[in-house]
């Protein structure tokens, strides 16, 4: 779904988190917090967000691996056709959990066919695999579990480097905090980039860590340090990067400020000069096009306002220590 989706549901989407004894606390609550923040952002737009529910086989309190207790509802109480997304967190003792959770795994296998999509966080991938949902698919999990996942389920193509992987309606993520990245991607797919970026800013995380678990994203730094005063400018800037003149005078005029006062306040709030911000926004736009589009390098340079490939290459080398062509080879979808 794009930032201007043709279809938006009129009722909240139901996100069901599966819990069990010794579930990882952050695996569970990290993604939940993303959907909570996304719901707030959607309500600000007078749109429905997410209904967030946590279920176990029998319901009632369940103790996480960290020792905290979470209250849950019985899975038998959920109508299968009412579930939009199933999310299965992991556990530090996941292989023991898999061996002792036959009934839960069967429930996941049965109900995943009716949900719009299903996702795992961290070692929760093992539960999806045991349920037969990853046969012949590529999948991610915690880096320390990759070899064990491949050995136990040899039909799975284990991606050792990915933050998260989407294969049709099945999503899997790497370790622990990568569940936040996964949840942000699901929010972006449902609600659009603006909502996902607003959530990322509120939680002070990256909207997208591109491959290799390298935090290449710089855009979020423009939205921290009390920089919300420039959010409207940033949205306009993201839509007008191809303009030949994005100097201080133009940006200051958009904010109804003098160039001198704008430059001073912008650096105070964002930590960088307006010129540097424009460069970073152009870099981020080029990254997305290199990852997601088939446009050639020169076209991307023009669309993002670099003017030519050489200027774009210099910017990539300066910030990411990689050329645009090499970046596309590594990170293109």
At 208 the pLDDT is: 53
Cα–Cα distance, 120 to 68 (Å, whole number): 21
Residue 225's pLDDT is 46
Using CA atoms, how far residue 307 sits from 67, 146, 237, 245, 313, in Å, is: 56, 43, 16, 11, 11
Q: How confident is the model at residue 80 (pLDDT cuts 50, 70, 90)?
A: confident
- What pLDDT does residue 1 have? 38
pLDDT for 205 equals 62
Reported confidence tier of residue 193, pLDDT bands at 50, 70, 90: confident
Label residues 178-195 b or e (16+ Cβ within 10 Å = b): bbbbbbbbbbbbbbbbbb
Residue 299 token pair: 């076209």
Q: Does residue 215 surpass a pLDDT of 50? A: no
pLDDT of residue 7: 57
Domains of the chain: 13-203 (3.40.50.880), 218-331 (1.10.10.60)
24 near 64, Cβ under 8 Å?
yes
More confident residue, 217 or 16: 16
CA-based nearest residue to 179, from 198, 203, 201, 195: 203
Confidence at residue 159, expressed as pLDDT on a 0 to 100 scale? 87
Q: Does residue 286 have a pLDDT over 50?
A: yes
Q: What is the pTM of this model?
A: 0.64
């Amino acid at each position: 779904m794009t930032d201007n989706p043709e279809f938006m549901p009129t009722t909240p989407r139901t996100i069901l988190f599966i819990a069990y004894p010794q579930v990882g606390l952050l695996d569970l609550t990290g993604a939940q917090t993303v959907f909570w923040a996304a719901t707030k952002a959607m309500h600000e737009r007078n749109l429905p967000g997410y209904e967030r529910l946590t279920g176990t086989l029998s319901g009632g309190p369940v103790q996480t691996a960290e020792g905290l207790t979470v209250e849950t509802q019985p899975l038998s109480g959920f109508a299968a056709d009412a579930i939009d997304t199933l999310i299965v967190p992991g556990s530090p003792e996941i292989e023991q959990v898999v061996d002792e959770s036959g009934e839960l795994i069967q429930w996941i296998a049965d109900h995943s066919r009716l949900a719009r999509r299903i996702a795992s966080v961290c070692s929760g991938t093992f539960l999806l695999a045991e349920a037969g949902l990853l046969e012949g698919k590529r999948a991610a999990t915690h880096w320390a579990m990759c070899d064990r996942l491949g050995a136990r389920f040899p039909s799975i193509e284990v991606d050792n480097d990915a933050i998260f992987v989407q294969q049709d309606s099945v999503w899997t993520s790497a370790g622990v905090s990568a569940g936040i990245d996964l949840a942000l991607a699901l929010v972006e797919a449902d609600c659009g980039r603006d909502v996902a970026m607003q959530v990322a800013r509120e939680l002070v995380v990256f909207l997208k860590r591109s491959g290799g678990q390298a935090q290449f994203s710089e855009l979020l730094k423009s939205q921290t340090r009390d920089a919300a005063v420039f959010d409207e400018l940033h949205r306009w800037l993201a839509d007008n990067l191809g303009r030949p003149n994005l100097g201080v005078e133009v940006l200051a005029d958009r904010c109804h400020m003098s160039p001198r006062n704008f430059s001073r306040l912008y650096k105070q709030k964002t930590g960088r000069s307006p010129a540097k911000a424009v460069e970073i926004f152009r870099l981020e736009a080029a990254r997305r096009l290199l990852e997601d589009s088939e446009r050639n390098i020169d076209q991307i340079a023009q669309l993002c306002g670099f003017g030519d490939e050489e200027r774009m290459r210099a910017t990539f080398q300066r910030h990411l220590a990689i050329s645009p062509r090499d970046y596309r080879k590594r990170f293109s979808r």
